[in-house]
Chain A
Amino acid sequence: MSNKDYDDIPGTYVFDGEQNRKGYHLNMFCMSLNKAENREQFAADPEGYLMTFPMTDQQRKAVMDRDWIGMLRLGGNIYYTFKIAIFDGMTMQDAGAAMSHVTVEEFKEMLLGGGRSVEGNRFKSEWEK
């Protein structure tokens, strides 16, 4: 159980201290991709490059699988994990579609229609119905 009042927002991974503790090294790996020479190393030998960061095997696997939600669950922060998406040539819509399990076309349509409505999306209880 948790006493965090934001924990009942559905489909949302608030990057608090607990998430930071879990995801520090995963996020610092992502941060390293700001440097062109690191991007080259990651491209040449992804698994080898990941081994140079003290991440968990689960986190390395989530990166290799491009499991975007998995990375968030394992402490990833979107501004950091998005650096992997940039590395892959993805846009924020591509990432948004992958995280919300729809096609990119569907995701873009939703945005053009005004975005995901807040109605029915405020509380986890509304998703459980």
Chain B
Amino acid sequence: MAKIIAGVGTSHIPSVGAAIDNGKTQEDYWKPLFDGYGPARKWMEETKPDVAIIVFNDHASAFSLELIPTFAIGVAPEFQPADEGYGPRQVPVVEGHPALAWHLAENLILDEFDMTIVNEMPVDHGLTVPLSVMCDQPEEWPCKVIPLAVNVVQYPQPTGKRCFDLGKAIAKAVESFDEDLNVVILGTGGMSHQLQGERAGLINADFDKAYLDDLTADVDRLVKIEHTEYMREAGSEGIELVMWLVMRGALSENAKEIYRSYHVPASNTGAGLIILENEK
């Protein structure tokens, strides 16, 4: 039987990927952030998940305004790094897990989550940066990946509650998959940041730290945060944090925090990372 053993929340800032790709992680600007990532990478190495479900958003790479799926699941055997305007990142091809992905797609739809099913999807920094954050620069990514894309670009994004409930349904579906697999789920994006407008550069470390705390202390509060509160308090792009709630929903109520790091600034963003484990 497959099971979700842990969840990770992490920002997916593109320049963090660029810092890794260009060997800048030990420079003064980046070192404090990457020092914080060290223990998380060690955890990833020791945990050796078979599959990572990565909840992320596409940034006008695979999808555009032509078609805006709220929740899309990648069922392909592999996903190529996307060209976001600089040429594709030089990172390994992302290998999928079509059997589990299809099992999830079918079970989620029957469970009334109307997923969009995707056979072809280049994956951008939203997905590959979290892999780099957790795995550094391996020849091949150490686990299979199921991409789960959430629309957070077009208002209205799915509500926090919908994301949390989707997470619960994912956990149920994983547990009914008839193969022994250890699965981790990553919720990515955030934390507070605003890229656009005259208010660009907004970062709210108090909001972010309270968010990290309440992933274990008061999940209910997080589930109830509405769109406007995210945008006002955490910046217009801070609403990406709803993707962390998919991850949180997929874990048991009493999941334990085993590691966190938080650093300001990474590019224009409050960069957070948290690892939560289900009881063994």
Contacts and interface: CB of A to CB of B under 8 A. Distances in A.
Contacts, number: 151
Interface of A: 5-6, 9-17, 20, 24, 27-28, 30-31, 33-36, 39, 69, 72, 77-80, 82-83, 86-87, 91-93, 95-96, 99-101, 107, 110-112, 114-118, 121-122
B59 A28 contact: no
A15 B204 CA distance: 21
Interface in B1-47: 14-15
B194 A92 contact: no
Interface stretch (B61-69, B92-100, B142-150, B252-260): B61-69
A104 B125 CA distance: 24
Contacts of A72: 196-197
Contact of A83 (B85, B196, B205): B85
A92 to B, nearest CB: 5
Contacts of B196: 12-13, 72, 78, 99
24 contacts: A5-B228, A10-B199, A11-B200, A12-B197, A13-B197, A27-B64, A69-B198, A72-B196, A72-B197, A77-B60, A82-B195, A87-B85, A92-B195, A100-B197, A100-B200, A107-B201, A111-B201, A111-B203, A111-B264, A115-B192, A115-B203, A117-B202, A118-B202, A121-B199
Among B59, B64, B207, chain A packs the most CB atoms within 10 A around the CB of B64
B155 A86 contact: no
A5 B228 CA distance: 7
B198 A10 contact: yes
Among A17, A30, A93, A96, chain B packs the most CB atoms within 10 A around the CB of A96
Contacts of A114: 203, 205, 264-265
A36 B204 CA distance: 37
A33 B85 contact: yes
Among A17, A82, A91, A115, chain B packs the most CB atoms within 10 A around the CB of A115
A39 B85 contact: yes
A115 B195 contact: no
B137 interface: no
A77 B59 CA distance: 11
Contacts of B15: 91-92
Contacts of A10: 198-199
